[in-house]
Structure 1
Amino acid sequence: MSSVFTRKLEERPELILNHELQPVHEDSKIRSEFGSFLGTIGRQCVPLDYVNWSRVSESEKNGWWEFVKTKYIIPKEGKDWVLKTICDAWRMYKSRFKAEYYTKYDNDEDRLKNRSQSIPLEKFKILLQYWGDEKIKSTAVKNANNRRKVIDTHTAGRTSFAQIRNDMKKVQSTPDTPTKADIYPKTRKNHEKKATKDAEGNDIEEEADANAEDMAEEAAKTVDEIDSAAHGPNWLVGRSGRTSKTRNITTHKSRKAEELATLRKEIAAEITTP
C-alpha cells in the first residue's frame, strides 16, 4: 500500500457515507483500496499480545483515525466503521497467526522453538498462556464448529456490500436503496457458475444469467424469512458503521452528505471548464 502511505493531503480521495454510515466511492477500486489500507493498519499497528480489542487504548484508536484522515477525506461519522474494520482485520490476522504458530504444534516447547520472529518472546508467551487456558480453548472449538456450518458464503471478494449497493443504485438511477433480495443474487451468482462448470465442464454464461434471475426471484420470496431465522441484522448489509452513539443519525443526513459531494464535483467541473 505504498501508494496510499505516501499520498499527499491534496491527493486524498473523498469518501461519502451511506445510510448505514458505511463509506462508498464512485470508483469501486478506490473503495477496495481503502479496505485494504485499513487491513494493513490492523495487521501492522495493533499488537498481537492484546487478548481482545477492549485492551486497545482510546489514544491508540484516535491515533489510527487521525492517520486515516491524512490519506482519505471521510466524514467524522465514519470513525466507528473505520475502527471496526481495523479490529476485524486484526482479529483475522491473529487467527491466521494462531493457526500457523500455535494450533500447528502439540506443545509449548515446539511452539516456542518455531515462533515467528515478528513478535517478541515475552509477548508470544502471553499469547501461549491465553490460548492455553481451558475456557478459551473451549470457546475456540465452539466458534470453529459454528463457522464450519456456514455454507452460504458470498462471492463478492474485496468489494463491500455497501459499494455493491451503491453501484446498483447508480445504474438504476433511482433514489430507492436496493433491498436485501436485490443484493443476494449479486453476491452469490458465481456459486451457480462454479457448480455448473464442475458438473459439465463447459462455458455456461447464458445459463448462469438464467440462474441469477431464478435466484433473484427466489430471494425476493424467502430472504426476509432467511434473515430472521438464521442471520443477524447486518446480513447482506455488511459491516455497519452504526453504534449506540450514532444510531440516531438519520438517512436524511447521509443523503445530505451525498448531495454535498455531488455539488462539490459540479462546482469543480464548472471551474475547470474553459
Structure 2
Amino acid sequence: MKKPVAGDSPASSLSPCEIPKSLLPIFLKHIAAFIDSLNVVVLARLLPQSHHRRILTASTSAVAASLLSQRQHRLVLAISTPLLQPPAASTRPLLPPDNGIKKNVQGPTFMRKIWARDKQEAIQVEFNDLGQPIDEKSSSELAHFLGAIARNGRYAPLHYKNWIKVPQTYKKEMLTQVQEKFQLPPGQEDWILKSITKKWRNWKSFVKTNYYDPNVSLVEQMKNVPERVHEDQWKELVTFWNSDASKRVSDRNKVSRGHQKMVHRKGKMSFARVAEKKKKELGYYPSRSTLFIECYSKGETPGNEVASQAMVQNRVCLKSINDPTQIVAKGIVRSIDPSTEVGGSRLRPNWCEVHIQVAVEWDEELIRRYGMFETIGDALGAHVAWPLFLVERDESDD
C-alpha cells in the first residue's frame, strides 16, 4: 500500500479500491436502496394518491411499477435507472388489436378536476320538467362523472351479478359523491342511479368483451387482471362468467340483441338534450314522432336497416309510433321519393308512401292525418305517409 505523503489530504489518500471486501456488500446494498428510493419517488409522482400506500408497501420498484399503465411505465424507464424492469405479467390492451392500423383512441375519462372540487364549488345542472339534465356543458360533465363512478370499483363493485344485488350502502355513497360535486334539484336521485346503472352495465360488458376469453383456463384468466378492475372483483367475475348459468344468460341476451334494428344516431347526446335543441329551433316542444325521427335518422337517407329494407313495391309491416314492436297494418311501399305528395303534403326525407291493404290495429291513429283519414281503419285501401324507421319488410311474404 502506498504510504501517505506529507501535505496530502485524507481524501486524496483514499481510493474506492481500498474499501475492505467485508464492507463492500453493505456498501452496494445501500447504493441499491438509494436508487430504489429514487424510483419510488418517480412512481409516486406519476400515480394517483390512492396508490401511494401500495407503493410504500411494495418490496421493490418492479412491484410498484406494475401499478403503472404502459405509457407511464415507459416514462419511468426513460428517466430512471436501468434497474427498473417491466412487470412480469403482461396485461391485455385496453382495446382489441387493430391489425396494424394505428388509430387515435381517447383514453379513459377520470374527471380529476370534478373530483377535486369541494361542496362550495359544486356545478349547477339545469333539469327539464321530466327530471332530465338539459344544459349542454353541465349535463355533459355530469354524465361523464357518473360514468367515472360506474367504472370505479370502490364505489360500484363490478362483481355483483346485477345492479339489484349491489348493496344500498354503495348506492348511497354514489349519491353522496354526486351531490357534493353538483347542485341538483330535489328528487333527482332516481335519475342519477338509473344513469349509473346503465353505465355500470356498459362497463361490465366492455370488460368482458375485451378481457375475458372463454378459451383460456380459469387459472390463467384470474392472472390476467385488467388495469382498472380490482383483483378480488375480477376473480369473482371470471368465476361467474365461466359458470353454465352465466353462459345461458349470455346466449339469451345475444339473441335479444340481434332483434334490435333501430340505431340511435346522436352519439352521447341524450334524448332530453335533443328535444331541448329542437324546441329552440321550432319554438315549441317537439312531438314524440319528430323526436324519434331526429334521433334515429341520418342525413337525407334512411338511418337504419329497417328503413333500408322498405323499398318500392315491397310488402311491409307498419309499426306503432307508441310501441315500435307492435304491427298496426300491412301494405305495399309505393314511393320513398321525398317530393311525392300524400294527402296534399310532400313526403319529406325518411318517409315513404304506403298502400294499406291489411288493418291490424283499426283504432291506431295515423301519424300524418289528412282529409277524413284519422285511423288505420279509416285509411284501409288508401295511401298514407309513414316514417321509414317504423317500416319493416313483411317476412311472411317471402
TM bucket normalised to smaller: 0.5 to 0.7
Which of 57, 77, 98 is equivalent to 2:167?
57
Which residue in 1 is equivalent to 2:157? 47
Q: 3-state SS of the aligned residue for 1:94?
A: helix
Counterparts in 2 of 1:105 and 1:2: CA distance versus 1, 3 Å: same
Which residue in 2 is equivalent to 1:88? 198
Which residue in 2 is equivalent to 1:169? 279
Which residue in 2 is equivalent to 1:183? 291
Residues 157 and 233 in structure 2, CA contact (< 8 A), matched pair in contact too: no
Which residue in 2 is equivalent to 1:256? none
1:214 aligns with 2:342: no
CA displacement 1:163-182 (0-9 Å, x = unmatched): 111222233333xx322211
Shift of 1:157: 0.7
Counterparts in 2 of 1:80 and 1:217: CA distance versus 1, 3 Å: farther
- The two structures have a TM-score, normalised by structure 2, of 0.46
Partner Cα separation in structure 2 for residue 15 and residue 189 of structure 1: 29
Residues 14 and 73 in structure 1, CA contact (< 8 A), matched pair in contact too: yes
Partner Cα separation in structure 1 for residue 121 and residue 272 of structure 2: 24
1:31 aligns with 2:139: yes
Partner Cα separation in structure 2 for residue 53 and residue 142 of structure 1: 19
Q: Which has the higher contact order (CA 8 A, sep 6+)?
A: 1
Q: 3-state SS of the aligned residue for 1:97?
A: helix
Shift of 1:127: 1.6
Shift of 1:49: 1.4
- The two structures have a TM-score, normalised by structure 1, of 0.65
Q: Partner letter of residue 220 of structure 2?
A: D
Q: How many percent identity over aligned positions? A: 26
Written as runs of structure 1 = structure 2, the 5 A alignment for 1:246-261 is: none
Q: 3-state SS of the aligned residue for 2:212?
A: helix
Shift of 1:65: 1.1
Partner Cα separation in structure 2 for residue 117 and residue 6 of structure 1: 23
Higher-Rg structure is 2
Q: 3-state SS of the aligned residue for 1:48?
A: coil
Q: Partner letter of residue 133 of structure 1?
A: S
CA displacement 1:164-202 (0-9 Å, x = unmatched): 11222233333xx3222111222133265698xxxxxxx
Counterparts in 2 of 1:148 and 1:106: CA distance versus 1, 3 Å: farther
Gaps of 5+ in 2: 1-110, 304-337, 340-346, 354-365, 369-385, 392-398
Partner Cα separation in structure 2 for residue 104 and residue 4 of structure 1: 38
Shift of 1:110: 3.1
Corresponding residue pairs, total: 209
1:21 aligns with 2:126: no
Q: Partner letter of residue 75 of structure 1?
A: P
Shift of 1:54: 1.7
Partner Cα separation in structure 1 for residue 267 and residue 205 of structure 2: 19
Which residue in 2 is equivalent to 1:100? 210
Which residue in 2 is equivalent to 1:76? 186
Which residue in 2 is equivalent to 1:134? 244
Shift of 1:70: 1.8
Partner Cα separation in structure 2 for residue 119 and residue 157 of structure 1: 26
Counterparts in 2 of 1:120 and 1:18: CA distance versus 1, 3 Å: closer
Q: Partner letter of residue 214 of structure 1?
A: P
Residues 266 and 295 in structure 2, CA contact (< 8 A), matched pair in contact too: yes
Shift of 1:80: 0.5
Partner Cα separation in structure 2 for residue 153 and residue 143 of structure 1: 17
Gaps of 5+ in 1: 196-208, 228-274
Residues 147 and 200 in structure 2, CA contact (< 8 A), matched pair in contact too: yes
Q: Partner letter of residue 349 of structure 2?
A: D
Partner Cα separation in structure 1 for residue 191 and residue 262 of structure 2: 25
Q: 3-state SS of the aligned residue for 1:214?
A: coil
Partner Cα separation in structure 2 for residue 158 and residue 18 of structure 1: 18
More helix per residue: 1 or 2?
1
